[in-house]
């Protein structure tokens, strides 16, 4: 019973059977048309059908079906078919999954091993930091931000790293949208002091959270950039002040910035961020 339940959650009993009876031939042929359409990009019906060795009537039915779903576009003047926006959106969903969370995992693991501290990955979501992943240190005392945890940007290393790459107008808009709550005596709650700290962060390339969210905990973070040089995520290490001491900050920051640069390259980002 337990075995059947496990299979039912994600795959049928015949999952390992790759025989023809477990494929939908018409769907398979339709996907061949979609792939060919993407490769040829801007072709007539006869050209697509000829490349596939299928009848124009069959290919036309497939293309019009894709057109109805936004996966294909047709220009009636030139009689040319092209890949549609829905194909891009679907592919983008895959890229977001693989390019950030999955590709970050080995980099975060290396960062944790190199520093001995917990490595974190986060993005900005609705004016807060949303943590997407974490690789915990082997040490007994550690920071813990499970995936899905949200935190205030102004008191977070990743939050400040992302804020530092926003233009002044957006920085102020994000900071004004939420109260700069004081979590500890070290939390920056004055907007001008916060802006000054962000300018410093941008100039040196990394953000520093010095017990601004939790007493006894420090965090060092750096931004991760997309292909346009925009900061889309942040990677960090966090740990107790007893281990992240003043004399270790510079070395840890180098490790964090290198990890952020690796992740930027891994997702095809631009290592020369927009100013």
- The dihedral region occupied by 13, where left means phi > 0, alpha psi between -120 and 50, and beta the remainder, is alpha
Q: Is there a domain that residue 26 lies in?
A: yes
Supply the pTM of this predicted model: 0.66
Q: Is there a domain that residue 43 lies in?
A: yes
pLDDT in tens, the chain (275 residues): 444 444 445 555 554 555 555 568 889 999 999 999 988 878 999 999 999 999 999 999 999 999 999 999 999 999 999 999 888 788 766 556 557 888 999 999 999 999 999 999 999 988 899 999 999 998 877 677 777 888 999 999 999 999 999 998 999 888 888 789 999 999 999 999 999 999 999 999 999 999 999 999 999 999 999 988 999 999 999 999 999 999 999 999 999 999 999 999 998 888 776 66
Q: How far apart are CA 25 and CA 161, in angstroms?
A: 50
C-alpha separations of 170 from 15, 35, 225 in Å: 49, 40, 17
The runs of H, that is alpha helices, within 157-232 are: 157-164, 168-177, 191-204
Q: Is there a domain that residue 6 lies in?
A: no
Domain boundary among 89, 112, 144: 89
Q: Which domain holds residue 257?
A: 98-267
| Residues 159, 211 within the same domain | yes
């Amino acid at each position: 019973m337990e075995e059947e339940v496990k299979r039912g959650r994600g795959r049928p009993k015949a999952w390992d059977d790759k025989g023809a009876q477990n494929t939908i031939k018409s769907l398979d042929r339709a996907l061949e048309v979609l792939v060919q359409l993407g490769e040829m990009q801007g072709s007539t019906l006869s050209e697509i059908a000829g490349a596939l060795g299928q009848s124009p009537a069959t290919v036309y039915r497939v293309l019009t079906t894709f057109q109805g779903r936004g996966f294909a576009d047709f220009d009636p003047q030139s009689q040319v078919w092209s890949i549609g926006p829905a194909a891009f959106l679907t592919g983008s969903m895959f890229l977001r999954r693989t390019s950030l969370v999955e590709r970050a995992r080995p980099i975060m693991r290396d960062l944790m091993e190199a520093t001995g501290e917990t490595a974190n990955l986060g993005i900005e979501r609705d004016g807060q930091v949303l943590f997407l992943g974490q690789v915990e240190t082997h040490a007994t005392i550690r920071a813990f931000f499970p995936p899905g945890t949200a935190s205030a940007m102004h008191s977070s290393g990743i939050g400040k790293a992302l804020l530092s790459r926003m233009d002044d107008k957006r920085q102020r808009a994000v900071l004004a949208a939420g109260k700069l709550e004081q979590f500890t005596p070290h939390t920056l709650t004055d907007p001008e002091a916060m802006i000054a700290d962000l300018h410093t962060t941008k100039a040196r390339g990394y953000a520093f959270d010095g017990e601004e969210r939790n007493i006894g905990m420090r965090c060092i973070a750096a931004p991760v950039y997309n292909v346009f040089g925009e900061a889309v995520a942040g990677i960090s290490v966090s740990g107790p002040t007893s281990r992240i001491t003043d004399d270790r900050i510079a070395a840890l920051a180098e490790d964090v910035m290198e990890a952020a640069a690796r992740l930027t390259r891994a997702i095809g980002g631009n290592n020369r961020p927009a100013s």
